[in-house]
Amino acid sequence: MTDALFLDDVTFAWPGRGGFALSCPSFRVGAGESVLLLGASGSGKSTLLSLVCGIVAADRGQVRVGDTDLGSLRPGARDRFRAERIGVIFQQFNLLPYASVADNILLPLRFAPERRRQAGDAQAEARRLVRALGLPPAALHQRAGTLSVGQQQRVAVARALIGRPPLIVADEPTSALDAATQDGFLGLLFDQSAAAGSSLLMVSHDERVAPRFDRVVRIENVVTRQGQAA
């Protein structure tokens, strides 16, 4: 079965960022697999995520999401591909605070026609996800900025999952949550990712969340970095 994500002999250097560069000889996330990438702050996690999401292109090597080598795509096509195939959850300030919850959830579909088709009735799907993630239906019409941090993270999960993208990338989504809320949040994230059939790649510095994942990878085992942290 094709991997959800495969990095092969990848090197990348940020232009004008104090010479920060990383290389990743090999890293994979299997289809339907949940992988925790553990690493301290400044270990290159965010750069790796930028490569995985196709925000930046590798200088050398291959970043493959499903069957597609991101390096073979032009920048515009990479953006479209990201919208179609990858759901992204940030650690905090995840949403457009001025937009409604519904608009936030539906935003990726604006740039991804195939994912929009996959979602079917997008409004109904947004309502379903909101319900499944334990948010009141009325929250759909609230401004995202008025929700609690925990609620906002759940909306971010709904946004990442809508249209069932094959890969969910989460960048320390629990860092702004207290321990009790963290647990509930992760439970919902796992349940819904599994329901959508999506693979989950989550980066974190918090080892306590490790038992929930199929596999835990320490970033220093897959990434070699040079220069200042990024």
Partner 1 sequence: MILRLAWASLMARALTVAMTVLAIALSVALFLGVEKVRTGARASFADTISGTDLIVGARSGAVQLLLYSVFRIGNATNNLTWESYQDIAKRPEVDWIVPISLGDSHRQFRVMGTTDEFFDRYKYRGGRALAFDDGHGLDDLYDAVIGADVARTLGYGVGDAIVVSHGLASFTDHADQPFRVAGILAKTGTPVDRTVIVSLEAIEAIHVDWQSGAKIPGHTTPVEAIRTMDLTPTGITAALVGTKSRLQVFNLQRWINQYRAEPLLAILPGVALAELWRIVGVAEQALIAVSAMVVVTALLGMMAMIFASLNERRREMAIWRAMGARPGTILALLVLEAAIMAAVGAVLGMLLLYAGLAVAQPIVDSAFGIWLPLAAPDLRELATLGAVIGAAALASLLPALRAYRMSLADGMMVRT
Task: In whole angstroms, give the CA distance from residue 167 to residue 51.
Answer: 14
Give the nearer residue to partner 1 in terms of CB position, either 96 or 194: 96
Tokens of 58: 């590798």
101-110 helix and 122-132 helix, angle to the nearest 10 degrees:
130
Q: Which stretch, 63-71, 88-96, 131-139, 179-187, contacts partner 1 (CB under 8 A)?
A: 88-96
Where do runs of H (alpha helix) occur along 38-100? 45-52, 75-85
**Is residue 70 a contact partner of residue 45, using CB atoms and an 8 Å limit?**
no
DSSP class of 226: E
* 79 near partner 1, rule: CB under 8 A: yes
Give the nearer residue to partner 1 in terms of CB position, either 96 or 210: 96
Tokens of 129: 């996800």
Q: Which residues inside 36-55 make contact with partner 1, applying CB under 8 A?
A: 46-47, 49-50, 53, 55
* Min separation Cβ 122 and partner 1, Å: 11
* Min separation Cβ 86 and partner 1, Å: 8
Q: Which residues inside 92-131 make contact with partner 1, applying CB under 8 A?
A: 93-100, 103, 106-108, 110-112
Q: Which residues inside 53-72 make contact with partner 1, applying CB under 8 A?
A: 53, 55-56
**Is residue 169 a contact partner of residue 87, using CB atoms and an 8 Å limit?**
yes
| 14 conformational bin, left if phi > 0, alpha if psi -120 to 50, beta if neither | beta
Q: Which residues bind partner 1 (CB under 8 A)?
A: 16, 46-47, 49-50, 53, 55-56, 75-76, 79-80, 82-84, 88, 90, 93-100, 103, 106-108, 110-112, 143, 145, 159, 171, 230
